[in-house]
Amino acid sequence: MTDHHSEELLDRIKEFVHTHVYPLEPDFLHRPFRELIPALNAKRDEVKRMGLWAPHLPKEHGGLGLALSEFALVSEELGRTPIGHYLFNCQAPDIGNMEILLTHGTPEQKQTYFEPLARGDVRSCFSMTEPEHPGSNPTWMSTTAVKDGDDYVINGHKWFTSSAEGASFAIVMAITNPEASNRYKRASQIIVPIPTPGFQLIRNISVMGDEGSDYASHAEVRYENCRVPQSNLLGQEGEGFTIAQERLGPGRIHHCMRWIGICERAFDLMCSYASRRELSPGVLLGSRQNVQEWIAESRAEINAARLLVLQTARAIDRQGAPAVRKDISLIKFFVAGILQKVLDRAIQVHGALGLTDATLLSYWYRHERAARIYDGPDEVHKTVVARSELKKYEQHD
């Protein structure tokens, strides 16, 4: 895509978000999601008519065919509102499931699961993390899938199975090859239709006081003798970890650029409020040096974060995610940290107002603290970066 076409696309998306999506946000914050579905579906239909649907997918599958580095800029624009990615059908975890189904799915799997997901007719969930094991170690899990005739019988306990409520299918990580000497070859990914006997959605986990809805939730799930055909295996047996890593590399670009979009919206709210809020007659909040420092630091950090992420996205486009593992880890903890700083400053500038649901700031503060934990906590990613850098200084005999 040429720079001209890229700018034109971003302008169209920005105009749509400002004109059609921002007005929906008060209802999104204060009304049950199910009450909003008719209005949101109307906006989704409008996105399709405008030819902006599923920007991450190839054109032959109804998308825009954008490269990862191009989609990154779109993700930033959509990230300025909590419902942007949903309206364009590129929200997590559906976007990751679409990508791995497109790459690893059989023709039958694509027809049954990918195509309805790409059309926006259904939603899906991804079931990997277990409460008994650290989520930062996806090679250590207890959920098993044992062959029985032509089926797999799945047993295990998962949590933070994102968007399980309202999902039409799950992609579950389970141990199929427990005796494999290579621990990275023990797990597989298997598609489980919902409902299937033995798939039990125990509860939506309350996160920062919010149990979520069928728009976004984090469920505890049990698989008890959950039987699915072996034809539901995604990719090859024992390749679950590899597929997960393929999913998570681009996924971290998606997240980081969404976070930058949140930062830009929070920055806009902060500057707008500082420029009009009076501390005393004729004395504006923005005239205070500490507020000006927060604004300057936020502007510099957001710009730096964007450049780092786009550089990494372009590297993935050229070389693939495994070749730039260190850079992916670097942006993950760096941008998540910037997000927390910018949101915190914006709330501080708003004072007590920032704690209320009169703005989006408190919503994002609750929902995005998790950015420093999911897809690998800061500590794990910092270790990856530090070890990579230290290797350059190792002495070799």
Task: Give the residue extent of every domain in the chain.
Answer: 3-105, 124-234, 241-391
pLDDT tens per residue, range 9-44: 999 999 999 999 999 999 999 999 889 999 999 999
Question: How far is residue 395's CA from residue 397's CA, in Å, rounded to a whole number?
Answer: 7
Question: How far is residue 349's CA from residue 355's CA, in Å, rounded to a whole number?
Answer: 11
- pLDDT above 60 for 397: no
Considering only residues 217 and 108, tell me which one the structure prediction assigns the higher pLDDT.
108
**Measuring CA to CA, which residue among 116, 118, 138 is closest to residue 129?**
138
- pLDDT above 90 for 2: no
Question: How far is residue 162's CA from residue 92's CA, in Å, rounded to a whole number?
Answer: 8
The b/e string for 28-49 (b: 16+ C-beta within 10 A; e otherwise) is beeeebeebeeebeebbeebbe
Does residue 269 contact residue 350 with C-beta atoms inside 8 Å? Answer: yes
Question: How far is residue 373's CA from residue 201's CA, in Å, rounded to a whole number?
Answer: 23
| Secondary structure element (H or E) that encloses residue 26, with its range | helix 25-30
Question: How far is residue 140's CA from residue 159's CA, in Å, rounded to a whole number?
Answer: 15
- pLDDT above 60 for 45: yes
* Superfamily the domain 3-105 falls into: Acyl-CoA dehydrogenase/oxidase, N-terminal domain (1.10.540.10)
Entry pTM: 0.94
Confidence at 225, pLDDT banded by 50, 70, 90: very high
Query: HSE of 392 in the Cβ direction (CA atoms, 13 Å)?
Result: 4
Q: Do domains 3-105 and 124-234 have the same CATH topology?
A: no
Q: What is the pLDDT of residue 138?
A: 81
Assigned CATH topology for domain 241-391? Butyryl-CoA Dehydrogenase, subunit A; domain 3 (1.20.140)
pLDDT tens per residue, range 194-206: 999 999 999 999 9
pLDDT tens per residue, range 107-155: 999 999 999 999 999 999 999 999 998 877 888 999 999 999 999 999 9
Q: Provide, rounded to the nearest whole percent, the portion of the chain with pLDDT above 90.
A: 87
Q: What is the pLDDT of residue 1?
A: 57
Average pLDDT over residues 167-178: 97
- pLDDT above 90 for 395: no
Q: What is the pLDDT of residue 3?
A: 67
Q: For 193, which DSSP code?
A: E
**Range name among 4-13, 291-300, 353-362 with the lowest pLDDT average:** 4-13
DSSP string, 320-382: -GGGGHHHHHHHHHHHHHHHHHHHHHHHHHHGGGGGSTTSSHHHHHHHHGGGGTTTS-HHHHH
* Superfamily the domain 124-234 falls into: Butyryl-CoA Dehydrogenase, subunit A, domain 2 (2.40.110.10)
Does residue 210 contact residue 364 with C-beta atoms inside 8 Å? Answer: no
